[in-house]
Amino acid sequence: MDASGAQEYDRMQDLKDFDKTEAGVKGLVDSGLQKIPKIFVRPAEELAEDLKHKKAQIEVPVIDLGGLEKADRHKQIVEEVRTASETWGFFQVVNHGISLNVLDEMLDGIQKFNEQGVEEKKKYYTRDKIKRVRFHCNFDLFKSRTASWRDTLQISFSDPDQNDSEELPALCRKSTVEYSKHVVELGNILFGLLSEALGLKPEHLGNMDCSKGHHLTCHYYPACPEPELTLGTAKHSDPGFLTILLQNQINGLQIFFQNQWIDVQPIRGALVINIGDLLQLVSNGKFKSNKHRVVANRLGPRISVACFFSGPIIMDKVFYGPIEELISEENPAIYKEVLLSDYVMKFIAAGLDDNFLVNYFKV
Ligand code: OGA
Ligand code: NI
């Protein structure tokens, strides 16, 4: 009880009770609720702050990767990648070499996983970071100011000793293994283009192991009865080097650019690419890791699959700092070298909530 005699709201207890259901947001929706629980409601001052930002109708650049093998076109693509990475930190790619069928199957597998009986899903519900396959509602549920309207299945492909596909949920096993193979190939192509866009040899970022170790973070955002009160994913930047995001046709992704929220419109067959904090760091600030979020939607489900390239799995001896070739007397290093394991620990400890990890490592 507080001074006025009103029952104090025990947020922690509510979070624990909700987590214990192991049924996620989808479980709430299935129970037929019309109002979202308080743990999901953003503070009034945050909602008011949001109204101050205009929404602009500009579009994130779309880069056509077709003809990459032709010298002229290749040069042009590198230029487009450079401009987008230096300004937006975001672009969409089309003609990227992954067939529509592989993309659709990936999304379909995630939909099936989330829409099966809850007992089967519960087998994967965990917050244990050691597990290769993890299903949960908000990795930072107990740390964030407000819970977000999404459930997530995370699958790591980082450890070559841990790649038994039998561990993956049956309903999305085949499609995920297939997509994973293709997305790694695309990742390698993109790291090549990004290296060239930095004026380096195509293999530079690859040789730094930026493309080593990826994980798929598969989000399921159920339709929300009160979308204006919550978010699907809170504002954040991605901590790794690069993210390749596959989204279905239900929009929600927005990026914060020039003080405005910009919708990233789903384009069928396209993939959204964004620069992460570590690439901002190694590029000495040349490339921008931009803040983004997902708004909740009355329509749903929105399904997205983020492939994060975050560097090698064994991180306790791996350091990353601004690339030597990019620093000079006129362009001194603006970031310190970081030990990858320290960096990842900081991210996990902080949760999403508007943290901008590279700021901790400014010179
Ligand atoms: C993320 C992310 C966007 C989305 O997982 O980091 O920004 O559309 N996801 O799910
Ligand atoms: Ni993100």
pLDDT digits 0-9 by tens, 71-106: 999 999 999 999 999 999 999 999 999 999 999 999
pLDDT above 70 as % of the chain: 94
d(CA 269, CA 14): 40
User: Ligand 1 atom closest to Cα of 219?
Assistant: 10
pLDDT at 131: 92
pTM here is 0.94
CA 72 from centroid of its chain's CA atoms: 32
User: Measuring from each residue's beta carbon to the nearest atom of ligand 1, which residues come in under 6 Å?
Assistant: 217, 219, 233, 238, 245, 247, 253, 292, 294, 304, 306
Highest mean pLDDT among 52-56, 145-149, 161-165, 356-360: 145-149
Ligand 1 test: best mutation among 215, 246, 292, most atoms within 8 Å of CB?
Answer: 292
d(CA 247, CA 199): 31
pLDDT at 185 exceeding the cut of 50: yes
Ligand 1 test: best mutation among 152, 217, 256, 348, most atoms within 8 Å of CB?
Answer: 217
Interval 321-329 mean pLDDT: 95
Spacing, Cα 216 to ligand 2 middle (Å):
12
d(CA 296, CA 7): 29
pLDDT at 91: 98
pLDDT above 90 as % of the chain: 79
What letters, b where the CB count within 10 A reaches 16 and e where it falls short, cover 82-94?
bebbbebbbbbbe
Spacing, Cα 306 to ligand 1 middle (Å):
6
Ligand 1 test: best mutation among 304, 307, 347, 357, most atoms within 8 Å of CB?
Answer: 304
List the residue whose alpha carbon is closest to atom 8 of ligand 1: 253
d(CA 208, CA 195): 11
Spacing, Cα 219 to ligand 2 middle (Å):
11
pLDDT at 192 exceeding the cut of 70: yes
pLDDT band at 354 (very low <50, low <70, confident <90, very high): low
Among all bound ligands, the one having the nearest atom to the CA of 296 is 1
How is the beta sheet containing 260-263 ordered, strand by strand? 55-56, 260-263, 253-257, 292-295, 231-236
- What lies within 8 Å, CB to CB, of 218 at 6+ separation is 110, 113, 152, 153, 154, 155, 172, 176, 303, 304, 305, 306
pLDDT band at 158 (very low <50, low <70, confident <90, very high): confident
Spacing, Cα 203 to ligand 1 middle (Å):
27
d(CA 152, CA 361): 29
pLDDT at 361: 76
Q: Are 149 and 230 in contact (CB under 8 A)?
A: yes
